A and B are shown apart, each in its own frame.
Chain A
């Protein structure tokens, strides 16, 4: 894979999946 594609993948996955996990963690913590 090209360097541009790897950078793009890191950005897209970090924001989307990272965002999902961040809010998931926040919801689990709020429920405790």
Chain B
């Protein structure tokens, strides 16, 4: 076992890191949109799947990292043995794939925060003409701004280079002085900002309608399988279960840390933040839309459209809106930044396991994100493709991690990896059953998402060619996963020698 000197100071360092990892753009742009569409029925199922899918998987990941004190390749390779080191490599490649395009999200969040800062300053000290432009739907200011930023924009490239450089600077300072210190500021501030926007939004005339949509439980909707699938998928994506990020956080935890309680606290904290975000966004959208139908239409517009075009326009139309919009985009930027940090840390940890110095590893991770994130920054089509391919890939990562735990023996795994030093212990049968459920439900979910038919030609185009360049095609998914698996399986022996045996 490699000697690991860097550690979080205490459990709060781990919990804040877990919260920072989980609370990201998805909590602010995906969860409120889906929750608004399906209401309380979805939230009940989403809470259920937190306990059934996300928490057991996160517990397993944190325990694996804590036990082996290595990055994702070394830890999962140690658990699976020589024959299955490729599993850790695949999980790592999927999360690296996400880190590359997520870097761009952090850049966008910075640019929108700057836009809102400029608007607020002009609103307070100037004529407020900029706010009038943002709020006028006929001028299409935000549509044009977003179209310009998301396609062939050097501004977008510059913004994500700045955020990645900042993240690398933070991580270069180490776990205690970098990640832990920044999270101590970011996470409490993020919660406070969300509470402020939520309190304002609920008090707006008509804002209660948003809460009505959010919390009404329609028992009939439980019969709709789509809601069950949306709920389990959102829980998996939102909590970061299966990403391998908790393995990385676990690798820096002290030997006596409590796996179970820390996981439960982090997971429930993530859901609390998501509910707060929904209680801010939905009342705001409903209060500021001309009708409930228009509000629902906005929610159907997609993640980026809701946050980058609809919300700022709606905020601009209300008195004091620029201030609220500035707070919201401050929270959005913080959420995005707090999530890119552990993704970069995952890359750095694997590189330091390979005995590259921490500073050099941080530089390589940052440079890789800047170079490989460029296509997603330059073209929205590439961004959407990467989000689709690696987003669904996370479900496969979850299946693989559950597989390794099942292979080890889930009851034995719980005793050996989880229960030691735990103040709070859950039933071993709960853990074992959930691992089996994750494995089989994960296979079904992967099939279901691929079967959604977002592409007109999922496998072959109209001319019969392999439809790899269609952003939402199964051909694109299989090709990119196939490449990742090919690298992982072909170099399995090398990865074992360099990351596990070493």
Contacts and interface: CB of A to CB of B under 8 A. Distances in A.
Interface centre among B44, B261, B268, by most A CB within 10 Å?
B268
B208 interface: yes
B99 to A, nearest CB: 27
A12 B216 contact: no
B424 A26 contact: yes
B11 A2 contact: no
Contacts of A16: 47, 268, 271-272, 275
A25 B30 CA distance: 29
Nearest to B276: A17
A2 B218 CA distance: 12
Contacts of A27: 11, 15, 261-262, 265
Interface string A1-31: 1101111110111011101100110110011
Contacts of B215: 5-6, 8-9, 12
Contacts of B294: none
B264 interface: yes
B269 interface: yes
User: Which range contains the number of B residues in contact with the other chain?
Assistant: 20 to 34
A5 to B, nearest CB: 5
Contacts of A15: 47
A24 B423 CA distance: 13
A4 B272 CA distance: 21
7 contacts: A5-B40, A8-B39, A11-B40, A12-B215, A16-B271, A24-B265, A26-B261
Contacts of B275: 12-13, 16-17
B211 A1 contact: yes
B212 interface: yes
Contacts of B47: 12, 15-16
Contacts of B43: 8, 12
Given A12-B40, A12-B44, A30-B261, A4 B217 contact: yes
A1 B272 contact: no
Nearest to A22: B268
Contacts of B44: 11-12
B274 to A, nearest CB: 8
B268 A23 contact: yes
B258 interface: yes
User: What 5 A-B pairs come out closest when comparing CB atoms?
Assistant: A8-B40, A8-B215, A20-B268, A9-B215, A23-B265
Contacts of A12: 40, 43-44, 47, 215, 275
Given A12-B43, A13-B275, A30-B261, A2 B216 contact: yes
Interface string B201-218: 000000010011011110
Contact of A23 (B208, B216, B217, B261): B261
Contact of A1 (B212, B261, B262, B424): B212
A9 B43 CA distance: 10
Interface string B41-81: 00110010000000000000000000000000000000000
B217 A7 contact: yes
Nearest to A25: B265
Interface in B275-295: 275
A13 B208 CA distance: 16
Contacts of B40: 4-5, 8-9, 11-12
A19 B10 CA distance: 22
Contacts of A2: 212, 216
Nearest to A23: B265
B36 to A, nearest CB: 13
Contacts of A23: 261, 264-265, 268, 424
Interface centre among A5, A7, A31, by most B CB within 10 Å?
A5
A3 B412 CA distance: 47
A3 to B, nearest CB: 10
Contacts of A26: 261, 265, 423-424
A24 B95 CA distance: 29
Contacts of B212: 1-2, 5
Contacts of A19: 264, 268, 271
A8 B44 CA distance: 9
Contacts of B424: 23, 26, 30
Contacts of B214: 5, 9
Contacts of A4: 40, 216-217
B254 to A, nearest CB: 13
Nearest to A6: B215
A17 to B, nearest CB: 5
Interface in B135-186: none
A5 B279 CA distance: 13
B337 to A, nearest CB: 22
Contacts of B258: 30
B423 A30 contact: yes
Contacts of B39: 8
